[in-house]
């Protein structure tokens, strides 16, 4: 059987690099992409190499970053530009293969096994892609080259930037095994601590854990431990999903659709909370209809202003829905039942999520006590409004409830929502 040839491509300092390419005056300078402190989301989202060298860290507060680097240049995020550059990069990838699996905006696996006879060796393809991204987009990439997705990603992760790191069946013991266990995909902070407490500190250590260890440390049948051991040995047969150029993405199984926001000010009344809940519900319902889903369950998360503690609540609906009012009413009901909506219990952030999704094409059993005709009419109305928003922008049609708070009325939450990478295991 022919050995697979898989590359993992990671665009270096992506958001900051895009900003530097857009504005030549800030190239080779310490640049960060950050939120707006006036909106209470002033944290570092991305940093340039120069900012990193000055000690700036991702997720750091903006004021702390400026202490580390007084001449720091701060630019607001431009998600439309990041999505554009992401699509342009992927358009280069699929000139070499139709097996392209995005992992967020700035990362992707590509399987070039069937392209070797056309373009040369695996490393030659990687270097050609690297040079094309640099010359055509003005960005640099780190590329990991291996026979499986796990080691390909590991290679791009350990590259210092603008390079190609091959991890092969001949060198993976020397290259991968001495690295910390936390560098292995699916090993988060909690798992790393669990492994460390038993003296398992490197990827090589993970490769040699026993079945008994897997059961004792991870519980149950030890499935998680055995999976990590297989990853550490390069035993990952998972395929690279096919790329659809018309969608510029792959078809993942969507399990939920959500949106959250840190409010510009503490939400000290039910009116404050309602305005944000409706804005979030509008975004969630619109995205759900675009994906041709209804939901059976609505979940809401909240973070308190007093101590930043949080909680989540969820409610299963009598019948599936994709109507904004149903989502908003359910979310508001969950929040009212969870706490008083007043100044003493002010909220800092809210998240609304629709889960337990079913296709809109699936027939829905009418509620015996409901009005099926009115529900169908409301769905048609909201789909018509969706069409207007696609043509003229999401703010061409407002709901009055969304205008009750002037600090949030201008927000286009759906447009500015960032879809984060799906998990490696899905």
Would you list which residues are annotated within the binding site for Mg(2+)? 10, 106
User: What is the residue whose two structure tokens read 């007093």?
Assistant: 306
400 Cβ neighbours under 8 A, 6+ residues apart: none
User: What is the residue whose two structure tokens read 């939920």?
Assistant: 256
Rg of the chain in Å (alpha carbons): 24
Beta bridge partners of residue 180, listed in sequence order: 202
| Alpha helices (runs of H) in 55-188, residue ranges in sequence order | 62-68, 79-93, 116-119, 122-137, 149-158, 172-175
d(CA 127, CA 163): 8
Angle, CA of 204, 421 and 281, to the nearest 5°: 145
Q: Distance of alpha carbon 37 from its chain centroid, rounded?
A: 22
Please count the residues of the chain. 426
Is residue 406 among the annotated active site residues? Answer: no
Q: Distance of alpha carbon 354 from its chain centroid, rounded?
A: 17
d(CA 88, CA 107): 13
Of 101, 107, 282, 382, which is the active-site residue?
107
320 and 367 in contact (C-beta within 8 Å)? no
| Three-state secondary structure of 30-72 | CEEEECCHHHCCCEEEEECHHHHHCCCCCCCEHHHHHHHCCCC
Handedness of CA 202, 207, 213, 216 (dihedral sign): positive
Rounded to the nearest 5°, which phi and psi values hold at 236? -130, 100
Query: Nearest CA to 320 among 260, 383, 363, 256?
Result: 363
d(CA 423, CA 196): 23
281 and 414 in contact (C-beta within 8 Å)? no
Tokens (6 digits) for 263: 């409010």
Query: Nearest CA to 398 among 278, 233, 221, 229?
Result: 278
65 and 105 in contact (C-beta within 8 Å)? no
Active site residues: 107
């Amino acid at each position: 059987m022919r050995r697979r040839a898989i590359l993992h491509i990671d665009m270096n300092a992506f958001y900051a690099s895009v900003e530097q390419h857009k504005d030549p005056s800030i190239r080779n300078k310490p640049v960060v992409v950050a939120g707006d402190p006036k909106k209470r989301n002033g944290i570092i989202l991305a940093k340039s190499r120069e900012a990193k060298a000055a000690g700036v860290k991702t997720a750091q507060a903006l004021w702390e970053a400026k202490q580390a680097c007084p001449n720091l240049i701060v630019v607001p995020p431009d998600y439309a530009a990041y999505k554009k550059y992401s699509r342009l990069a992927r358009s280069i990838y699929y000139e070499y293969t139709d097996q392209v699996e995005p992992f967020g905006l700035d990362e992707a696996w590509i399987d070039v096994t069937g392209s070797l006879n056309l373009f040369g060796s695996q490393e030659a393809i990687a270097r050609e892609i690297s040079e094309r991204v640099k010359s055509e987009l003005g960005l640099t990439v780190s590329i990991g080259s291996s026979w499986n997705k796990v080691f390909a990603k590991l290679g791009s992760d350990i590259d210092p930037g603008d390079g190609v790191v091959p991890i092969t069946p001949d060198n993976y013991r020397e290259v991968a095994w001495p690295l910390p266990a936390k560098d292995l995909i699916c090993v988060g902070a909690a798992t790393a601590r669990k492994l460390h407490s038993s003296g398992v500190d490197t990827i090589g250590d993970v490769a040699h854990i026993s079945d008994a260890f897997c059961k004792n440390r991870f519980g149950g049948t030890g499935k998680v431990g055995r999976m990590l051991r297989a990853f550490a040995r390069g035993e990952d047969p998972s395929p690279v999903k096919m790329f659809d150029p018309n969608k510029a993405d792959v078809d993942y199984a969507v399990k939920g659709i959500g949106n959250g926001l840190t409010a510009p000010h503490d939400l000290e009344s039910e009116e404050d909370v309602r305005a944000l809940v409706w804005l979030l519900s509008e975004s969630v319902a619109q995205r759900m209809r675009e994906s041709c889903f209804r939901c059976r369950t609505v979940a809401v998360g909240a973070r308190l202003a007093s101590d930043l503690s949080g909680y989540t609540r969820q409610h299963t609906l009598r019948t599936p829905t994709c109507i904004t009012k149903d989502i908003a009413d359910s979310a508001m009901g969950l929040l009212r039942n969870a706490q008083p909506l007043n100044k003493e219990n002010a909220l800092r952030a809210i998240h609304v999520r629709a889960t337990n999704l079913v296709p809109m094409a699936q027939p829905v059993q009418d509620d015996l006590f409901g009005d099926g005709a009115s529900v169908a009419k409301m769905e048609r109305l909201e789909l018509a409004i969706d069409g207007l928003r696609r043509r003229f922008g999401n703010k061409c049609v407002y709901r009055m409830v969304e205008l009750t708070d002037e600090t949030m009325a201008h927000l286009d939450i759906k447009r500015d929502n960032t879809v984060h990478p799906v998990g490696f295991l899905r």
